[in-house]
Amino acid sequence: MDDIVKQAMVKWPNVPHCFGWLGLDARGNWFLRDEGAQASGPFCGGGPQAKGSVLRHDKLLDFIARNYQPDEQGCWYFQNGPQRVYVELELTPWIWRLSADFTVRSHTDRAATTHACWLDEHGRVYLETDIGFGLVHTLDVAIAAEAVLQGRWTPVDTVSQALPQRFAYVLSPNLRRGL
């Protein structure tokens, strides 16, 4: 976490948390969800208008990446100064990008070491790593297939609906709190 964020948390300890305003899609894109997007429905399943606007500002994306983490209940957020901004997840808290040498990096550019590979009923590939559980980016599924062919990873069959509970993450902190 950035030092400036830690200082802001000390200076303003009682800032309310923010829910529903930020989303992460299955390709590792961050979405800003203004009031109109939120009124259009939930981030996952609410249609294109409900996703909001893709964030493209590099410095903001870097700031979010450095301050992205889960709380004790498995709800993911980024610490924006003194305020937690909770994230609506389309599928998983991490989106993995793979290199030809099978190294793994997150959508936030963190290196990860693979422990297990999972395959759901839709053919989506997931990795369990030292920093958490996430979906392999669609553009990198061919590299994952090569890792399987080489015997580096052995996919375990799973059902997508079971993944949040199994790996202790919450898709919608907003829905979890009853909104």
State pLDDT tens for residues 78-103: 998 888 999 999 999 999 999 999 99
Instruction: Give the pLDDT of residue 2.
Output: 72
Structurally, at CATH architecture level, domain 3-91+169-176 sits in Roll (3.10)
Instruction: Label residue 9 by pLDDT band (50, 70, 90).
Output: low
Take residue 177 and report the two structure tokens written for it.
Answer: 């709190």
Instruction: Label residue 45 by pLDDT band (50, 70, 90).
Output: confident
Enumerate the domain spans of the chain: 3-91+169-176, 94-163
Instruction: Give the pLDDT of residue 152.
Output: 97
pLDDT higher for 23 or 83? 23
Instruction: Give the pLDDT of residue 1.
Output: 66
pLDDT digits (tens, 9 = 90+) for 68-78: 999 999 999 99
Take residue 161 and report the two structure tokens written for it.
Answer: 């609906």
Instruction: Label residue 50 by pLDDT band (50, 70, 90).
Output: very high
What is the average pLDDT value for the chain, to the nearest integer?
92
At CB < 8 A and 24+ separation, what contacts does 168-171 make?
Answer: 168/74, 169/70, 169/74, 169/75, 169/76, 169/89, 169/92, 169/93, 169/132, 169/133, 170/73, 170/74, 170/75, 170/76, 170/89, 171/44, 171/88, 171/89, 171/90, 171/91
Average pLDDT, integer, range 30-39: 95
Give the DSSP H or E segment for 58: helix 58-66
Average pLDDT, integer, range 118-139: 98
Instruction: Give the pLDDT of residue 10.
Output: 66
Percent of the chain scored above 90 by pLDDT? 82
Judge whether residue 179 has pLDDT over 60: no
| 37 φ, ψ (degrees, to nearest 5) | -65, -45
pLDDT higher for 142 or 45? 142
